[in-house]
Amino acid sequence: MNIIYALILFPLAAAIVIFFVRNDSIRNAVVKVSAFVVAVLTLCVFAWYFQNGISFTPANGEIIDIVIMVIEVLVAAYLIIAGLKNKKYIVSVFSVIQTTLILWFELTGKQGIEVENSIIFDKLTAIMVLIAGVIGSLICLYAVGYMKWYHKQHKNYKERKYFFLAVLFLFLSAMFGLVLSNDLTWLYFCWEITTLCSYLLIGYTKTEEAKNNSFLALAINLGGGIAFAAAIVFIGINFKTLELSDLIAMKRSATVLIPVFLLSVAALTKSAQFPFSSWLLGAMVAPTPSSALLHSATMVKAGVYLIIRLAPLLGLSTVGIIVTTIGCITFLICSLIAISQTDAKKILAYSTLANLGLIVICASVGTQESIWAAILLVIFHAVSKSLLFLSVGSIEHQIGSRSVEDMDILLHVSRRLSLYMIIGMAGMFLAPFGMLISKWVAMKAFIDSNHILAVIVIAYGSAATLFYWTKWMGKLVSNANVKKQRKHTFFAEEEIPIFIHTVLVVLSCFGFPLISKYALVPFLTDLYGADAIIPIGTSDVKIMIVMLGMLLIIPIGFIPIYKQDKRRIVPIYMAGENTGDNETFYGGNGEKRKVELRNWYLESYFGTKRFSFWCNVISICVLCVGVIVLIGGFAK
């Protein structure tokens, strides 16, 4: 028995078990054990196959095909009924279209197409598996702690923990399948399952808002699914193959670019790029573990994963330019909009969108350097962002609010949590942490490949990124006075995953030369046939390691200085009207008035209203141009 089967099937089994266990403590134990096993399995698979990779087709492929078909039909039926029941007819329509399309193809066109390698495990797959497995299992563990209090704080939601946790594991299984499949029909199946999981989790709370958002997500992703299905049909009919690797190996031509375009559209919907971005923002109503797992760390990465796979066909081709443009718009605009958000999860969502945009740009530029950057971005983003999501979840637990404005007391509530949070944010935008390194390389790659627009976008977008992260960080370090300590509990199930994430963020920065050397360079060399080189010079890497070391050592170095140099503490400057406690001043009528400090959100400048509509219009136009060019056969 191949261990890869275990990787895919074990979470599935776990999901089923968890679904049927209705006792909290037993279920929690099962989840913990399963998460641990998933992590171990992931590491085993990684260790086993990393060096040489593996590609094979399961012996009983046809049975699997049939099982898949049956499940597809069942899922479609469920979605159609759900759509009809909730009067979201578009969902039903989309579901009908794609299922018919794919069924028709399976039953007619597919006959006679031999799939040589249904499953391929190469370096990129290894990285994706590692991300999904390690982060996924950590998040599942976290979910145990999170769900303990979630229903205590939100009494109006129906308690369905078994369902929630089961879907998480189901999703893990699908995600493993997605990154391992080389057979497009299997890939498509897993793709649809992740869509379903996402829909189920967004609708978890069953509120009106959650319901609407879940159907929005479903509609958009099913739309992407149609594009995917169409691409499969097109490839199957025209090229008599269903293997992704074969498609990639083809030469660019107008006909090849059509399925590539369709697949890119599917990827863009999954990665929630403009104009399909609205669903991801809506998805933030779901409980935080699902936001962390599906909507930032792994599932949305499936989209960019597909684009990275397609990268050799993109480059400066028509489709490549279109995808790059869409990525540029998303990156820039979402970075700007994030400035105007107060809800922590919204900020994270916009930041996710922006970073996905950046990865899309990198991947679609399609040079060795840029893909190097894209993959590193995927890794760093997954780790940092899931750390941030988990921390926000815990912060909500501790202080009862998700608003950034309320986080100024966090330093007094839980010092550790704010430290984790700060490290996570630093990981998102500061030198010498991962995201910035990748951004830097991306920039270099864009210059080298003469993508001047992307260069400029990255310059502006990074500046905006700096603004919203720093002001959030500022809230976390601000020493607001809280007179009485709040009581709080920080479950070990919450803290352990967060802590491991934090360590991962730091380690990944130290370790990126290794990742680069052992995973990326061989992968890129294989992909392009030319020797890939690490885009960052060793002297720079050294300096960065020094910087990182400084960041770790200096704070510790300050401890003796602090011990030695005790100072007189004076009240803050309040124009002479202090009352003495740093919290209030004598106000207009002579009575005490509380100082309130709030960050800038520049609503009139960067508000959602100002941007969303026009950006959607522009990106739709860009897509339409793509369609016209491809249909006209002008593509090259």
Partner 1 sequence: MGNRTVIPFGPQHPVLPEPIHLDLMLEDERVVEAIPRIGYIHRGLEKLVEKKDFQQYTYVAERICGICSFMHGMGYCMTIESIMDIKIPERAEFLRTIWAELSRMHSHLLWLGLSADAFGFESLHMHTWRLREQVLDIFEETTGGRVIFSVCEIGGVRKDISPETLDKIDRILTDMEKELKEITHVFLSDSSVKYRTKGIGVLSKQAAFDLGAVGPMAKASGIKRDLRTQGYAAYGKLKFEPIIETDGDSYARTSVRIKEVFQAVDLIKQAIAIIPEGGINVKVTGNPNGEYFTRVEQPRGSAMYYVKASGSKFLDRFRVRTPTFANVPALLETLKGCSLADVPILILTIDPCISCTER
Partner 2 sequence: MNFIKKSPWILHYDGSSCNGCDIEVLASLTPLYDVERFGIINTGNPKHADILLITGSVNEQNIPVVKQLYEQMAEPKAVVAVGICATSGGIFAECYNVVGGVDKVLSVDVYVPGCAARPEAVIDGVVKALGILEQKQKRMRKRKYR
Partner 3 sequence: MFTFILRIIGIIILAPLAGGMLTGMDRVITARMQGRQGPPVLQPFYDVLKLLQKEPIEVNLMHRFYVYIALIFVIFTTVIMLTGGDILLAIFALTLGSIFFVLGGYASNSPYSLVGSERELLQMMAYEPMVLLTGIGLYYADNSFFIKDIVSAQAPAILSLPGIFLGLLFILTFKLRKSPFDLSMCHHGHQEIVQGITTEYSGRDLAVIEITHWYETVIALTLVFVFFATKAPVSYVFAVLACLLAYFLEIVIDNGFARVKWQLALDSSWIITGVLGTVNLIILSFFR
Binding site for partner 2 (CB under 8 A): 570-571, 573, 576-578
Angle made by CA atoms 29, 32, 35, in degrees to the nearest 5: 145
Q: Provide the minimum distance between the beta carbon of 555 and partner 2 in the complex, in angstroms, as a whole number.
A: 25
CA distances from 413 to 143, 145, 402, 480, 559 (A): 22, 18, 15, 11, 21
Applying the rule CB under 8 A, the residues between 321 and 340 that interact with partner 3 are none
Of these partners, partner 3, partner 2, partner 1, none, which one is at the site of residue 405 (CB under 5 to 8 Å by kind)? partner 1
Of these partners, partner 1, partner 2, partner 3, none, which one is at the site of residue 443 (CB under 5 to 8 Å by kind)? partner 3
Of these partners, partner 1, partner 2, partner 3, none, which one is at the site of residue 112 (CB under 5 to 8 Å by kind)? none
Q: In terms of CB distance, is 379 or 544 closer to partner 3?
A: 544
**Site map for partner 1, 399-418, x if CB under 8 A?**
----x-x-------------
Residue with tokens 């978890």: 204
Which span sits near partner 3 by CB under 8 A: 83-91, 93-101, 394-402, 555-563?
Answer: 555-563
Q: Provide the minimum distance between the beta carbon of 388 and partner 2 in the complex, in angstroms, as a whole number.
A: 35
Q: In terms of CB distance, is 71 or 602 closer to partner 1?
A: 602
Which span sits near partner 1 by CB under 8 A: 196-204, 290-298, 420-428, 586-594?
Answer: 586-594
**Site map for partner 3, 433-472, x if CB under 8 A?**
---x---x--xx--x--x-x--xx-xxx-xxx-xx--xx-
Applying the rule CB under 8 A, the residues between 329 and 348 that interact with partner 1 are 342
DSSP, res 403: B
Q: Are strands 584-586 and 54-56 parallel, antiparallel or unpaired?
A: unpaired
Spell out a b/e string for 496-530, using b for 16 or more CB atoms within 10 Å of the CB, else e: ebbebbbebbbebbeebbebbeebbbebbeebeee
Q: Provide the minimum distance between the beta carbon of 476 and partner 1 in the complex, in angstroms, as a whole number.
A: 18
| Whole-angstrom distance, CA of residue 139 vs CA of residue 290 | 8
Q: Are strands 584-586 and 592-594 parallel, antiparallel or unpaired?
A: antiparallel
According to the binding rule CB under 8 A, does residue 580 interact with partner 1? no
Q: In terms of CB distance, is 565 or 596 closer to partner 1?
A: 596
Token pair, residue 634, equals 């002008």
Q: Provide the minimum distance between the beta carbon of 347 and partner 1 in the complex, in angstroms, as a whole number.
A: 16
Q: In terms of CB distance, is 556 or 570 closer to partner 2?
A: 570
For residues 220, 225, 227, 233, the Cα torsion angle rounded to the nearest 10 degrees is -170
| Contact criterion met (CB below 8 Å) for 65 and 102 | no
Q: On the CB side of 329, how many CA atoms lie within 13 Å of its CA?
A: 25
φ, ψ of residue 456 in degrees (nearest 5) = -65, -40
- Helix, strand or coil for residue 183? strand
On the question of a cis peptide bond just before residue 513, with omega within 30 degrees of 0, the verdict is no
According to the binding rule CB under 8 A, does residue 152 interact with partner 1? no
- Helix, strand or coil for residue 545? helix
| Count of Cβ atoms closer than 10 Å to residue 299 Cβ | 26
**Site map for partner 3, 396-435, x if CB under 8 A?**
------------x---------------------xxx---
Element (H, E) at 54: strand 54-56
Residues whose CB is less than 8 angstroms from the CB of residue 164 and which lie 6 or more positions away in sequence, other chains included? 143, 147, 201, 204, 287, 290
| Whole-angstrom distance, CA of residue 281 vs CA of residue 211 | 14
CB burial of residue 201 (10 Å; 0-12, 13-18, 19+): buried
Q: On the CB side of 127, how many CA atoms lie within 13 Å of its CA?
A: 28
Of these partners, partner 2, partner 3, partner 1, none, which one is at the site of residue 447 (CB under 5 to 8 Å by kind)? partner 3
According to the binding rule CB under 8 A, does residue 587 interact with partner 1? yes
Of these partners, partner 2, partner 3, partner 1, none, which one is at the site of residue 114 (CB under 5 to 8 Å by kind)? none
Q: Provide the minimum distance between the beta carbon of 75 and partner 3 in the complex, in angstroms, as a whole number.
A: 46
**Site map for partner 3, 582-621, x if CB under 8 A?**
x------------x-x-xx----x----------------
Of these partners, partner 2, partner 1, partner 3, none, which one is at the site of residue 589 (CB under 5 to 8 Å by kind)? partner 1
Angle made by CA atoms 211, 217, 220, in degrees to the nearest 5: 135
Q: Using the rule CB under 8 A, which residue among 569, 590, 594, 632 binds partner 3?
A: 569
Which span sits near partner 1 by CB under 8 A: 24-32, 170-178, 273-281, 581-589?
Answer: 581-589
Q: On the CB side of 578, how many CA atoms lie within 13 Å of its CA?
A: 10
Of these partners, partner 3, partner 2, partner 1, none, which one is at the site of residue 588 (CB under 5 to 8 Å by kind)? partner 1
> How big is the site for partner 3, counted in residues (CB under 8 A)?
57
| Whole-angstrom distance, CA of residue 127 vs CA of residue 130 | 5
| Whole-angstrom distance, CA of residue 204 vs CA of residue 237 | 40
| Whole-angstrom distance, CA of residue 601 vs CA of residue 341 | 7
According to the binding rule CB under 8 A, does residue 600 interact with partner 1? yes
Angle between helices 24-49 and 3-20 (to 10 degrees): 170
Q: Provide the minimum distance between the beta carbon of 546 and partner 3 in the complex, in angstroms, as a whole number.
A: 8
Of these partners, partner 3, partner 2, partner 1, none, which one is at the site of residue 473 (CB under 5 to 8 Å by kind)? partner 3
Q: Using the rule CB under 8 A, which residue among 529, 560, 588, 632 binds partner 1?
A: 588
Q: Provide the minimum distance between the beta carbon of 299 and partner 2 in the complex, in angstroms, as a whole number.
A: 51
Q: In terms of CB distance, is 1 or 575 closer to partner 1?
A: 575
| Whole-angstrom distance, CA of residue 364 vs CA of residue 374 | 9
Q: Give the E-state strand segments of 431-486 in sequence order.
A: none
Q: Using the rule CB under 8 A, which residue among 26, 63, 597, 631 binds partner 1?
A: 597
Q: Using the rule CB under 8 A, which residue among 400, 549, 555, 633 binds partner 3?
A: 555
According to the binding rule CB under 8 A, does residue 601 interact with partner 1? yes
Q: In terms of CB distance, is 204 or 350 closer to partner 3?
A: 350
Q: In terms of CB distance, is 560 or 590 closer to partner 1?
A: 590
Angle made by CA atoms 246, 250, 251, in degrees to the nearest 5: 175
According to the binding rule CB under 8 A, does residue 556 interact with partner 3? no
Q: Provide the minimum distance between the beta carbon of 299 and partner 3 in the complex, in angstroms, as a whole number.
A: 31
- Give DSSP secondary structure letters for 250-268: SPP-HHHHHHHHHHHHHHH
| Whole-angstrom distance, CA of residue 594 vs CA of residue 615 | 41
Residues of the shown chain interacting with partner 3 in the complex, contacts defined by CB under 8 A: 408, 430-432, 436, 440, 443-444, 447, 450, 452, 455-456, 458-460, 462-464, 466-467, 470-471, 473-475, 477-481, 537, 539-540, 543-544, 547, 550, 554-555, 558, 562, 565, 567-574, 582, 595, 597, 599-600, 605
Residues of the shown chain interacting with partner 1 in the complex, contacts defined by CB under 8 A: 342, 403, 405, 574-577, 585-590, 593-598, 600-603
